[in-house]
Amino acid sequence: MNPSIRGKLEQITDRSGEITALLADPQVQEDPQQLRELGREYAQLEPVVACYRRYRQVEDEIAAGEEMLADPELADLAREEITTGAARLEALEPELERLLAPPDPHDRRNVFLEIRAGAGGAEAALFAADLACMYLRFAELKGWSVEPMSESAGELGGYKEAVLRISGGSVFSHLKFEAGAHRVQRVPETESQGRIHTSACTVAVLPEAEAIDDVAIDAKDLRIDTYRASGAGGQHVNKTDSAVRITHLSSGIVVECQDERSQHKNKARALSLLQSKLLSRAQDAQVDEQARSRRLQVGSGDRSERIRTYNFPQNRVTDHRINLTLYKLEEIMTGQMDQVIAPLLREYQAEQLVALMND
């Protein structure tokens, strides 16, 4: 094990012991806020400490086996225990490295997923719809809930823009690397000569704001407009002004929601989206300083800007950030995205670990 990593693990173990003692202190127990903060810190450290405890136990077993090698009658048993222990250490090291990677404070949050057609005209709008379906299927496989916030249809189908709210377990941790420009290469249905066209869409992934991160919104700074929701028809659609559009005057941010029949519900969802956008804006300066910021930049939607390319004729998906190429486009478009997301997560954790070692 790298000495720097072992040093960090020893520090974490010591800190966990300090917290355990503090939690038993009567004065701390009388302070609910301090008790809550210490409990939260302990919960974060405990998985690391428990794994490191197992690691050291295996090291002790290997050391004992090496001592047994001096006894001819126990040498074979000792060598077997040493070999087994070495394999266990090899398995525990990546687990410790994963646990050591600093957690993203937003990982457990729900998200607002925004998909916008970029360069490519009608084909880009159709691809935006394909991306929306891919994320819907991925969410279904994960057991998440998806609520459409708003959508703007393309002239020949698809979406100029679509906004989804996705809720469930650790949604942001899975989707945060999806932010950026997605490029598609395929033959459009309207192409009579079989030529491959290149189009692009942009994806933004915004963690939903929580109470502890509330951004103060002055009601005087809001302009709220209501209008009739667009849709396929029915008894309610286009008959009442249930859709809501909110303009944040000082920032110029505009959000809208037309999915619910209740104007009250649409307003509440639109306000939640506005709060998330304001939170994201407030955190931009800090995020830009961090190594992962390059993965969170959406770009202009130009064909030349891309984090990922979807090549339909070759059934190929390429993630350009980590030089990952998979010839499984059909599977991925049906929502089987873990085979793309898992390598991105491993690369991210490796970068975090290097930063921790250099700290």
DSSP-derived 3-state class of residue 328: coil
Pair (162, 310) in one structural domain = yes
Q: Determine, yes or no, domain membership for 75.
A: yes
Cβ neighbors of 227 (< 8 A, separation 6 or more) are: 241, 243, 245
Q: Tell me, what CATH number does 16's domain have?
A: 1.20.58
Mean pLDDT for 185-198 is 81
Strands 316-319 and 308-311: antiparallel
* Residue numbers of the domain that contains 9: 3-100
- How many separate domains does the chain show? 3
Assess whether 207 and 308 both reside in one domain: yes
353 to 95, 142, 347, 349, 358: CA distances (angstroms): 12, 27, 10, 6, 9
Residue 268 clears pLDDT 80, i.e. is over it? yes
Other C-beta atoms lying within 10 Å of the C-beta of residue 182:
26
Q: What is the pLDDT of residues 71-120, one digit of tens each?
A: 888 899 999 999 999 999 999 988 887 788 777 778 888 999 999 998 88
CATH code at 270? 3.30.160.20
Do 117 and 171 belong together in one domain?
yes
Residues 201 and 118 in one domain: yes
Q: Which structure tokens are listed for 31?
A: 């302070």
Q: Is residue 106 part of a domain?
A: no
Instruction: Check which CATH number belongs to the domain holding 132 and give it.
Output: 3.30.70.1660
Helix axes 32-68, 3-23, angle to 10 degrees: 130
Average pLDDT over residues 145-156: 90
Same domain as 163, residue 298: yes
Q: How far is 288 from 310, CA to CA, in rounded Å? A: 27
Domain end, chosen from 235, 250, 284, is at: 284
Mark whether 49 and 188 lie in a shared domain: no
Range of weakest confidence among 20-29, 37-46, 129-138, 210-219: 210-219
pLDDT band at 296 (very low <50, low <70, confident <90, very high): very low
- Does 147 share its domain with 202? yes
The pLDDT value given to residue 288: 53
Residues 67 and 180 in one domain: no
Asked whether residue 298 carries a pLDDT value surpassing 60, the answer given is no
